[in-house]
């Protein structure tokens, strides 16, 4: 049986055995899991290896690119600025970013950026991979662009663009980049080892993602909007192995962390704005998360999703409860927060599955954590 390291409350033994089984079965190569209740860790575990050859063990401080789980950090920054009265989700984006009004977008509101309904799921003009490290280029192109559909009428997953869009609003308000602001205002106060823009000094701790098998979106009958979103540039997961990718601030996709750090930050949401004696939001400001922005078939993902203010919300096919929210990352990472249960569950791994939406590994961890809570 796989060796699992870390600490856990014995009530959550099922979480430990779930991770061990996934490592034994080959579902996982290396992974970390964290469960927090009332903002306090009840599970903090890791196991497996950082490489596919299984020569180097996954360590306590191993971190990895978590893809779109990064978005939850971006959402929290926006919620904090709203809490401070510096950002209004219902104001036009152009209030903070005047150039954004071009292309008929003068009425697009900040909430449309948060809920993937702004019609800017990708770039119209061609981009190269390395262009994603050019903040000015990525944001100015989006500001000039016309929406791909009528903003506010439907969600279309803004897979990579969302981070630049929200991040530029944050930059215009704070005068600093979102990666720096996150480090100073969120990760720092919480002591969370999560980075949007990784210093070179931390490279030695990074586990490279194990890319999934390639998928031909044309063969799957993907829509034109889906092809345009994921085809410019085409993001092979191995792009995250590059130093330029780690240094860049790509606030929808290149956050580096582990389950402990993801849970440490997002337990703020589960705790109604506070965790471990640190308050970053008022309880009232947390309510904005549950303002439904879209509910229906997503134009990019091609499946029904319900978006609140950034975070995904409970649906019949994702039954989480009325005060729960979530998101995850390409390949399988996952974070779920439930304010009623004051529960936070995070799963971060290196072996990626090929689907755009998560797989059963994270769901199995969540189920085991819920069963552990029932044992209280």
User: Among this protein's residues, is 68 annotated catalytic?
Assistant: yes
Of the residues 68, 155, 267, 346, which is catalytic?
68
- Residue 147 to residues 78, 121, 123, 144: CA-CA distances in angstroms? 22, 9, 10, 10
Query: In the β-sheet with 4-8, what is the strand arrangement from edge to edge?
Result: 4-8, 40-48, 30-37, 343-349, 334-338, 324-328, 312-313, 304-307, 294-297
**Encoded tokens for 229:** 């979103």
Residues 6 or more apart in contact with residue 210 via CB below 8 angstroms? 29, 52, 350, 351, 352
Q: Tell me which residue of 52, 43, 41, 53 sits closest to 5, measured CA to CA.
A: 43
CA angle 243, 244, 250 (to 5 degrees): 115
Among left, alpha and beta (phi > 0; psi -120 to 50; other), residue 162 is alpha
Place of tokens 């005068």: 175
Residue 234 near residue 226 (C-beta atoms within 8 A): no
**Encoded tokens for 343:** 């529960």
The full DSSP string for 83-128 is HTTS--TTSBGGGT-GGGGGGGTTT-BHHHHHTT-SS-SS-SS---
Positive or negative CA dihedral for 263, 265, 266, 272? positive
User: Any idea which residues carry the catalytic annotation?
Assistant: 68
């Amino acid at each position: 049986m796989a060796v699992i390291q870390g600490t856990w409350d014995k009530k959550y033994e099922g979480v430990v055995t779930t991770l061990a089984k996934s490592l034994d079965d080959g579902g996982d190569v290396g992974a970390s899991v964290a469960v927090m209740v009332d903002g306090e860790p009840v599970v903090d575990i890791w196991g497996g290896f950082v490489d596919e050859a299984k020569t180097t063990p996954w360590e306590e401080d191993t971190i990895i690119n978590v893809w779109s789980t990064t978005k939850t950090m971006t959402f929290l920054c926006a919620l904090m600025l709203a809490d401070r009265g510096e950002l209004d989700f219902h104001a036009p984006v152009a209030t903070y970013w005047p150039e954004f009004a071009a292309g008929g977008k003068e009425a697009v509101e900040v909430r449309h950026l948060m809920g993937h309904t702004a019609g800017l799921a990708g770039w119209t003009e061609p981009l190269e991979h390395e262009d994603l490290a050019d903040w000015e280029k990525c944001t100015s192109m989006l500001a000039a662009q016309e929406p791909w559909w009528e903003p506010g009428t439907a969600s279309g997953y803004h897979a990579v663009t969302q981070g630049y869009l929200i991040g530029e609003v944050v930059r215009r308000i704070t005068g600093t980049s979102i990666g720096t602001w996150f480090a100073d205002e969120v990760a720092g106060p919480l002591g969370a080892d999560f980075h949007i823009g990784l210093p070179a000094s931390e490279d030695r701790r990074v586990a490279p993602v194990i890319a999934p098998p390639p998928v031909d979106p044309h063969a799957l009958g993907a829509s034109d909007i889906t092809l345009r979103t994921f085809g410019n540039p085409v993001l092979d997961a191995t792009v995250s192995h590059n130093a330029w990718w780690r240094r860049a601030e790509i606030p929808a996709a290149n956050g580096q962390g582990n389950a402990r750090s993801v849970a440490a930050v997002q337990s703020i949401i589960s705790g109604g704005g506070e965790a471990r004696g640190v308050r970053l939001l008022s309880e009232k400001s947390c309510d904005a998360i549950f303002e439904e922005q879209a509910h229906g078939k997503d134009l990019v993902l091609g499946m029904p999703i319900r978006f609140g203010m950034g975070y995904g919300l409970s649906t019949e096919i994702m039954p989480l409860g009325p005060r729960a929210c979530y998101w995850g990352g390409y390949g399988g990472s996952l974070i779920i927060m439930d304010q009623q249960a004051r529960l936070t569950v995070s799963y971060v791994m290196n072996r990626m599955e090929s689907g755009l939406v998560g797989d059963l590994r994270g769901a199995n961890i969540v189920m085991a954590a819920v069963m552990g809570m029932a044992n209280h």
